[in-house]
Amino acid sequence: MNSIKYKDVLYGHREVGDLKELVNSSAELFAGRDAFLVKDSPGGAYRPISYGRLRSDIDGLGTALSERGLLGAKIALIGENRYEWVISYLAVTNGAGVIVPFDRELGAEELAEFMKRIDARTIIYSSKLESLVMQADRLFRLDCLISMDAREHAGRRLSLSALLARGGRLLAAGERAYIDAAVDADALCAILFTSGTMGMPKGVMLSHRNIVANVRNMSKYVDVSGGHTGLSVLPMHHTYEMTCHIMTAIYQGCRVAICEGLKYIVKNMAESKASVMLGVPLIFENMHRKVWRNAESKGKAKAMRRAIAFSKMVNAQNTKLVKRFFKEVHQALGGNILLFISGGAPIDPLVVEDFNAMGLPMIQGYGMTESAPIIAVNKDKYSKPASVGLPMPGTEIRIIDEDENGIGEIICRGESVMLGYYGDPEETARVLVDGWLHTGDFGYFDGDGFLYVTGRKKNIIVTKNGKNVSPEELEYFLCRIPYIAEVVVWGADDGRGGDTVICADIFPDFSYVEEAHGRRLSGDVLKRILKEEIDRVNEKLPGYKRIKRFALRDSEFEKTTVRKIKRHTVVHG
């Protein structure tokens, strides 16, 4: 844990009531800074875009959309991470419209159905998804299709760049309808569809106040101002990336470099001199694994373990000495990282501990789309590796229906809690009770007020004798076995009318197997090795939590675009 003297420190912040005020005030405050780094072609050099240009592009696009009668409309948005995504999102919301971001991995039928449900008749899209959008248009006829890449208008198919140019001319001529449009901070500004792992995906309704309160309060704990550059890796349709990275960066005056894709993270880190990166556990755990394998291949693993142990013991962590000793690791990660932030799912605390000890500060947070999204987060100067952090300022958290270990459901309330689910008052009433959001997650507080998340309520395995088993806890232990890349734990009836049997589906880390044994092992041999490893894990667990059966798979589990395993798609053997 970092020094206790930072326990009560809060960073300064400014009050902003809505996203328009957030953008406009940042454009004034950071007029001389770059807001974004973008590439005009794959593999090319990064090009800066200033805060002034950001505001003028938002106002120009918004003005052109307003001229076409789209002020207040619901407008869908789909595409890869790019600057045009950001200005589209903000041009819609800042003119009192409603933005509806979609996952680019949706099928055409799903996209059409979602747009029909909310009656969104306009979509802004990337050329990479043109085929998908055209298929959806045939299923649900749209009034307006705006391409991020087309150069000219063609009937109801419009060009984003042409709209930008048109808006710029209108502004120069004195048109002010868009920039003078009043924004109601409490009105709906965004609809975000959940992944729908249990039943029909739900449309989370967020207001300006929900989002800016999250940005403002999170910024009291985590500082990315003062010349930081963040690398945007996670998909922007996800509120974690859009609120916690993009919006927070704009609010604090940070520069954002758009990553070219997961394969290019390290390359883009170095090119952009990124000092901050938000990611999900899978990304950071893969980085951690590669760091150790590189050390082992060079015969440096033993020395690195000693150095990490020493760093942890003396709490050296983010010092020049530590950075000098782990210089090779720092260089492999671009050479400029000052903060890693993990979210979206619990991360192995060992990963956080090791990165901190190597002079690569790392924290984690916790949230959900329904809370715009952050509920709790570690301070960048006061944190605990195994915890998701302290309740975010302005957010109250309670644990209800506690068991004998103090573990119960996490509920919260505050300015960031959603307006409700679109068109679904029954589900809204189920999760929002007297202003409290029932998260469906289990967790507990420690004596210092730090929150720990133990698993999803809907994933809990209940044994015949009433014991609750969190599959996420067991997956955490299993993933520490180097032979395992990914795992899903589940419960099954033993088939004899007895108790529930804990089972695991395992995707082996085949690259590690080959490195460790010099060849790819047969299934029987690998299964025997894994049984020995799992037996060692079981020895540390109470009887009702022990893994009794496991099966190996040849391919990775299906994942969402934010790299979370789709548990509901796993077919159990």
Question: Rounded CA gap, 380 and 367, in Å?
Answer: 17
Domain final residue, candidates 183, 202, 231: 183
Q: Are residues 356 and 398 in the same domain?
A: yes
Q: Which residue spans within 157-287 are E strands per DSSP?
A: 157-159, 188-193, 203-207, 229-232, 255-258, 276-279
- CATH number of residue 447's parent domain: 3.40.50.12780
Q: What is the pLDDT of residue 498?
A: 63
Is residue 41 a part of any domain in this protein? Answer: no
- The helix, strand and coil proportions of the chain, stated in percent and rounded to the nearest 5, come to 40, 25, 40
Q: Are residues 251 and 369 in the same domain?
A: yes
Q: Is 122 helix (H, G, I), strand (E, B) or coil?
A: strand
Q: Are residues 550 and 489 in the same domain?
A: yes
Q: Are residues 153 and 238 in the same domain?
A: no
CA 284 to chain centre: 12
Is residue 328 a part of any domain in this protein? Answer: no
Cβ neighbours of 447 (radius 10 Å): 5
Q: Are residues 22 and 125 in the same domain?
A: yes
Specify the residue for token string 């395995």.
461
Q: What is the pLDDT of residue 146?
A: 98
- Cβ-Cβ contacts under 8 Å for 62 (sequence gap 6 or more): 91, 92, 94, 95, 167, 178, 179
Angle, helix 510-517 to helix 281-297, in steps of 10 degrees: 10
Q: Are residues 365 and 452 in the same domain?
A: yes
- CATH number of residue 172's parent domain: 3.40.50.980
Q: What is the pLDDT of residue 384?
A: 95
- Cβ-Cβ contacts under 8 Å for 181 (sequence gap 6 or more): 66, 71, 95, 96
Report cis status (omega within 30 of 0) of the bond before 373.
yes
* Residue range of the domain that includes 533: 460-569
Is residue 515 a part of any domain in this protein? Answer: yes
Q: Are residues 86 and 152 in the same domain?
A: yes
- Cβ-Cβ contacts under 8 Å for 440 (sequence gap 6 or more): 409, 431, 456, 457, 458
Domain final residue, candidates 135, 164, 183: 183
Strand partners, 339: 276
- CATH number of residue 559's parent domain: 3.30.300.30
Q: Are 133 and 145 in contact (CB under 8 A)?
A: yes
CA 418 to chain centre: 18
Q: Are residues 20 and 159 in the same domain?
A: yes
Question: Rounded CA gap, 271 and 280, in Å?
Answer: 22
Per-residue tokens: 217: 């309060």
Beta-sheet pairing, 122-125 with 98-101:
unpaired
Strand partners, 436: 433
Specify the residue for token string 């996670």.
234
Q: Are 442 and 470 in contact (CB under 8 A)?
A: yes
Q: What is the pLDDT of residue 454?
A: 87
Domain count, the chain: 3
Q: Are residues 357 and 268 in the same domain?
A: yes
pTM of the model: 0.85
Is residue 1 a part of any domain in this protein? Answer: no
Q: Are residues 433 and 510 in the same domain?
A: no
* Residue (of 115, 127, 74) closest to 98 by Cα position: 74
Is residue 244 a part of any domain in this protein? Answer: yes
Q: Are residues 404 and 466 in the same domain?
A: no
| pLDDT, tens digit only, all 573 positions of the chain | 333 455 776 898 899 999 999 999 999 999 989 999 999 999 999 999 999 999 999 999 999 999 999 988 999 999 999 999 999 999 999 987 999 999 998 889 989 999 999 999 999 999 999 999 999 999 999 999 999 999 999 999 999 999 999 999 999 999 999 999 999 999 999 999 986 444 578 999 999 999 999 999 999 999 999 889 999 999 999 999 999 999 999 999 999 999 999 899 999 999 999 999 999 988 998 899 899 989 988 999 999 999 999 888 877 666 778 888 899 999 999 999 999 999 988 888 999 999 999 999 999 999 999 999 999 999 999 999 999 999 999 999 999 999 888 999 999 999 999 999 999 999 999 999 999 999 999 999 999 999 999 888 777 787 766 667 878 888 888 988 989 999 999 888 766 656 788 899 999 999 888 888 888 888 888 999 999 999 999 988 878 888 999 999 999 988 877 777 777 666 565
Is residue 243 a part of any domain in this protein? Answer: yes
Q: What is the pLDDT of residue 101?
A: 97
Is residue 563 a part of any domain in this protein? Answer: yes
Q: Are 334 and 266 in contact (CB under 8 A)?
A: yes
Q: What is the pLDDT of residue 464?
A: 61
Q: What is the pLDDT of residue 276?
A: 97
Q: What is the pLDDT of residue 465?
A: 60
Q: Is 306 helix (H, G, I), strand (E, B) or coil?
A: helix
Q: What is the pLDDT of residue 198?
A: 44
Q: Are residues 27 and 141 in the same domain?
A: yes
Q: Is 34 helix (H, G, I), strand (E, B) or coil?
A: strand
Per-residue tokens: 378: 């570690």
Domain final residue, candidates 422, 456, 490: 456
Is residue 281 a part of any domain in this protein? Answer: yes
Asked whether the CA dihedral 103, 108, 110, 111 is positive or negative, the reply is positive
